[in-house]
Amino acid sequence: MTVADSITGADNGRGAGSRPTAIRIRDLWKKYGVIDAVWGINLEIGDGEIFGLIGPDGAGKTTTFQILAGVMQATSGTAEVFGVPASEARSHTGYLTQAFSLYPDLTVSENIRYIGDLRRVPPDEITKRGRRYLRMFDMDRFEHRLAGRLSGGMKQKLALACALVPEPRVLLLDEPTTGVDPVSRREFWDTLAHLAADGLTIVLATPYLDEAERCNRVALMHQGEIRQTGTPAELRASLHAKRMEIHVSNLALAERTLSATAGADKEIIDVQRFGDRLDLLVYKPEEAKLVADQALSAEGLVIDDVRIDEPTLENTFVATLRNLGQRVHDEVFPGHHDHSALRGKIAIGATNLTKEFGSFTAVKNVTTQVRYGEIYGLLGANGAGKTTTIKMLCGLLPPTRGDMQLAGERGSLRSPEIRQQIGYMSQKFSLYDDLSIAENLEFFAGVYGVPERERVEKMRWVASFSGLEGREVQLVGSLPQGWKQRVAFGAAILHEPSILFLDEPTSGVDPLARRSFWTMINRLADAGTAILVTTHYLEEAEQCNRLGFMVAGELVTEGSPTAIKSAQGGHLLEFIVDRPQRAMDLLKSDSERWRVSLFGERLHIITEDDAATAEQKYRRELEANGVRVISAREGRFSLEDVFISTVEKARQEGKVAVEE
């Protein structure tokens, strides 16, 4: 029997639930010298399952992927794909690495042709399959565009199309949506759900735990070991806790006060700060509220509003890692310059800001203000005009029309005095890959004019914040994306700017490290720094005090996270059904496609109708088409739901972002 025959015909036991086993890992070890990257893991993944491998940077996820892809040999143990050693099953395994692995100087169709030829797909099949996947991903109109000129979301769709042309039975995706905007991310996941329903086994790693909610099962990996495995619901339930949202006037003081009372064995397990609320992880909400009331009243604070909800998968992830000894790096930054006297004054201002490139208008009449001490989130899909707006606001790009204000100045914003008050962490370039960590920090300290007497302690803080103590001589180019982002953030604040621009600062950063970022960002804002941040991760956007949504160059919505969600019309219904893919396809065919999305076994539907009436209507429709409804309830809009709804409604009004 050939490898292909073995893979095609094997039914080697059962994986998840009643699924045949697609991947079986037994006692898998991988050593690099004295370092155990993967430490005796055992795992079974079912045929047609979407399985998530989650864990902090350095957990061993990429090493596990490389062994499953057959490009790396294990030190010991076995990894089998449909009963065949992974190294012998490479022709039946697709693998998307973290890095953009395609050729920027080839067109979309040329990249597909190259990969198809490399994987020995017959030429006529390459053409047929390539066109099918490009149509599936709504990219057929871009087949002659150079890959290097695609947006982040389109690059990932192209990489996925290339991986699918050989028609693998197993697809490995290592952080496939890092840097991809929310609209493209949802489309990407809808595609994965279709592929899995057609029998493709998908294993992916992601730092975004709202994405992990879309997996059938997930495994939490830490220091080379599998620590927990189960459905997202099972992992959330394992906490035996609730999430309590509270609104209080002084968030900084409330966070410090409640954090001092929190702990794994206390009524309040964990405290997390968001832009206009605190989230408390608690065992018993009523008792925890009494504890919170007493602690806050001693500081003269009163809880304005309380809401109880289920914990998120990110709550589970962080709590588990803390129990395993991982910590949030929250060392106090060695600051020497106080900006608190500026609080409340306008730091960044724009009035009717417009930028035209020839006949194309990239930014249209944007008017907004960001004050010192405020965190403002600028959100938008690829091509919405965010980066162009930021470049104008920080003086890197002159506007075609409109007025700007920066650090108290109008008109020319490029003076050395203004430059010294600004920190900028770019989306695409922040560090020199061929310099060491220490050399990069020395360079930026010199550029920003950091006094010699402050440099040593600040560089030491960056190494500690990044979790890279003792590794300062390591080349930045050799760092994983998450660690590189931490060093870049440290370099951007060495000179203690009063205004800070952060363009996707936590792209590719794991949830625990993201906590460290936002702890530091909040401290900077509390000390008076004005912060403008962009992010594609909308759960993270909840950390901002105010948000602005951009669509096709226009600022269409502004407000606090809670206010924006509260203003959302309609209702969100959550159905759990026995045939989720069938249900999604059915409902998408009868309504606007963006209103229906699949999260593992849970179906989310956005409706403008009365909730009870809509629930009965969808229940009847599903059951009439052979889909059994297990449960149905009204859910709460996430910020991602609101964002996608806003973008789609703007598109209906003729506002269309140009793909970059």
pLDDT digits (tens, 9 = 90+) for 214-265: 999 999 999 899 999 999 999 999 999 999 999 999 999 999 999 999 988 8
β-bridge mates for residue 76, sequence order: 29
Which residue has tokens 């012998």?
88
Sheet holding 84-85, edge to edge: 35-46, 21-32, 76-81, 84-85
Q: H-helix or E-strand containing 141?
A: none
Q: H-helix or E-strand containing 655?
A: none
Which residue has tokens 């009439």?
624
Q: Is the pLDDT of residue 15 over 70?
A: no
209-to-232, 266, 485, 539, 637 alpha-carbon distances in Å:
10, 25, 19, 9, 17
Average pLDDT for 183-196:
86
Q: Is the pLDDT of residue 659 over 60?
A: no
Q: Are 257 and 299 in contact (CB under 8 A)?
A: yes
Q: Is the pLDDT of residue 406 over 80?
A: yes
Q: Is the pLDDT of residue 179 over 80?
A: no
Average pLDDT for 335-345:
91
Lowest mean pLDDT among 12-16, 105-109, 483-487, 520-524: 12-16
Q: How confident is the model at residue 540 (pLDDT cuts 50, 70, 90)?
A: confident
Q: Are 158 and 184 in contact (CB under 8 A)?
A: no
C-alpha–C-alpha distance, residues 489 and 421, integer Å: 16
More confident residue, 1 or 448: 448
User: pLDDT tens, 551-603?
Assistant: 989 999 999 999 999 888 889 999 999 988 889 989 988 888 889 988 877 89
Q: Is 74 helix (H, G, I), strand (E, B) or coil?
A: coil
Q: How confident is the model at residue 109 (pLDDT cuts 50, 70, 90)?
A: very high
* Residue 229 CB neighbours (<10 A): 18
Q: Is the pLDDT of residue 2 over 70?
A: no
> What token pair was written down for 22?
């697609």
Q: What is the pLDDT of residue 4?
A: 37
More confident residue, 275 or 183: 275
Q: What is the DSSP string of 152-189?
A: HHHHHHHHHHHHHTT--SEEEEESTTTT--HHHHHHHH
Q: Are 619 and 629 in contact (CB under 8 A)?
A: yes
C-alpha–C-alpha distance, residues 323 and 317, integer Å: 10
* Residue 135 CB neighbours (<10 A): 11
Average pLDDT for 520-530:
94
517-to-317, 330, 466, 521 alpha-carbon distances in Å:
17, 9, 10, 6
> What token pair was written down for 95?
């693998």
β-bridge mates for residue 28, sequence order: 41
Q: What is the pLDDT of residue 504?
A: 87
Q: Is the pLDDT of residue 336 over 90?
A: no
Q: What is the pLDDT of residue 660?
A: 44
Q: How confident is the model at residue 16 (pLDDT cuts 50, 70, 90)?
A: low
Q: What is the pLDDT of residue 206?
A: 87
99-to-53, 58, 453 alpha-carbon distances in Å:
18, 16, 38
Q: How confident is the model at residue 656 (pLDDT cuts 50, 70, 90)?
A: low
Lowest mean pLDDT among 87-96, 115-124, 237-246, 328-337: 328-337
Q: Is the pLDDT of residue 3 over 60?
A: no
Start-to-end C-alpha separation, the chain = 49
Average pLDDT for 85-109:
88
Average pLDDT for 403-409:
90
On average, the pLDDT of the chain sits at 89
Q: How confident is the model at residue 429 (pLDDT cuts 50, 70, 90)?
A: low
Q: What is the pLDDT of residue 18?
A: 63
**Phi, psi of 579, rounded to the nearest 5 degrees:** -130, 75
Q: What is the pLDDT of residue 373?
A: 96
Q: Is the pLDDT of residue 7 over 50?
A: no
Q: Is the pLDDT of residue 181 over 60?
A: yes
User: For a pLDDT cut of 90, what percent of the chain falls above it?
Assistant: 59
Q: How confident is the model at residue 288 (pLDDT cuts 50, 70, 90)?
A: very high
* Residue 6 CB neighbours (<10 A): 17
Average pLDDT for 454-461:
94
Average pLDDT for 360-375:
95
User: pLDDT tens, 479-496?
Assistant: 887 889 999 999 999 999
Q: What is the pLDDT of residue 217?
A: 95
Quote the radius of gyration of the chain (alpha carbons, Å).
Answer: 25
Q: What is the pLDDT of residue 14?
A: 36
Q: What is the pLDDT of residue 568?
A: 87
Amino acid at 440: N
Q: How confident is the model at residue 5 (pLDDT cuts 50, 70, 90)?
A: very low
Give buried/exposed letters for 436-445 (b at 16+ CB in 10 A, else e). bbbbbbeebb
Give buried/exposed letters for 556-584 (b at 16+ CB in 10 A, else e). bbeebbbebbeebebbbbbbbbebbbebb
C-alpha–C-alpha distance, residues 83 and 352, integer Å: 63
Q: How confident is the model at residue 338 (pLDDT cuts 50, 70, 90)?
A: confident
Q: Are 84 and 8 in contact (CB under 8 A)?
A: no
Average pLDDT for 52-60:
88
Q: Are 548 and 555 in contact (CB under 8 A)?
A: yes
Q: Which residues contact 613 (CB under 8 A, 6 or more apart)?
A: none
Q: What is the pLDDT of residue 138?
A: 79
Q: Is the pLDDT of residue 538 over 50?
A: yes
Q: How confident is the model at residue 13 (pLDDT cuts 50, 70, 90)?
A: very low
Distance of CA 493 to the CA centre of its chain: 23
